[in-house]
Amino acid sequence: MTPVTVIHGTSPLVLGQPHVGTMIPPEVSIALNDLGRAVPDTDWWIDRLYADIAARYSATIVRQSISRYVIDVNRDPGGVSLYPGQATTELCPTTNFDGEPIYRPGCAPDAAEIMRRREAFYLPFHCAMSAAIEAARLTHGYAVLIDCHSIRSHVPRLFDGALPVFNLGTNSGKSCAPAIRAAADAAARASGRTSVVDGRFKGGAITRRFGEPARNVHAVQIELAQSAYMDEAPPWTYRPERAAGTAGDLDHIVSAILEAAADLEHTP
């Protein structure tokens, strides 16, 4: 079972897709309950939504094949909460986003099992991401990571009301240059859709780890409300007529980020 897929591109752009995977190893599947095996908190169809963007900009894609219910590669590897005081899920989640258990009674992973999953599934993704970013940086002098996510627009346990369509996370401005943050914000607002920068989702472990503006590595997480491109209930149907406009707006955001990054690289 291959935990990570890398599709190599030729540009400075790296697209992280850490939560599109639905694969569950048999030894984990047997411990999950029916809800857990249904993996409802997957970032459904994100790979399809970004496919044209990836091709247009010759992006490198780093995609996790293993479900986040096995281990969440966008969490701190030591289990430290990235959002202190707010509800969230763990490195190896034991509940879904609504707080419902995903394991059969007595079958949640212990410390040894969590460590095993870190070695088998977490580390390969982060190693692949590190290699992809460094290759882009060495080739072009800089790298841009867009960490691609989506979530249901209403999850009362995690946030109040309806989530904005575009939720841009830059770890409160620490993961990218100010000009890139401003360009992303302006492009999102120009779409006419609801948007926010560093709101409920400021960027997870991936954005926080790999965004190093001092090394010319700029990272932005885009958390997208799933209502903008799909049905938010099983069977999680992709809606091409909705997705087309959303993908176009995403393209404009990505383009603005890349233009700002290139301007920084070429500014004496």
Judged against a pLDDT cut of 70, whether residue 268 lies above it is answered with no
Q: How confident is the model at residue 81 (pLDDT cuts 50, 70, 90)?
A: confident
pLDDT 10s digits, 152-191:
999 999 999 999 999 999 999 999 999 999 999 999 999 9
- pLDDT at residue number 122: 98
Judged against a pLDDT cut of 80, whether residue 267 lies above it is answered with no
Judged against a pLDDT cut of 70, whether residue 254 lies above it is answered with yes
Judged against a pLDDT cut of 80, whether residue 101 lies above it is answered with yes
- pLDDT at residue number 138: 98
Judged against a pLDDT cut of 90, whether residue 82 lies above it is answered with no
Q: How confident is the model at residue 2 (pLDDT cuts 50, 70, 90)?
A: confident
Which residue ranges make up each domain of the chain? 4-266
Domain 4-266 top-level CATH class: alpha beta
pLDDT, mean of residues 78-83: 88
pLDDT 10s digits, 30-72:
999 999 999 999 999 999 999 999 999 999 999 999 999 999 9
Say if CB 68 and CB 93 are below 8 A apart: yes
- pLDDT at residue number 211: 98
- pLDDT at residue number 199: 96
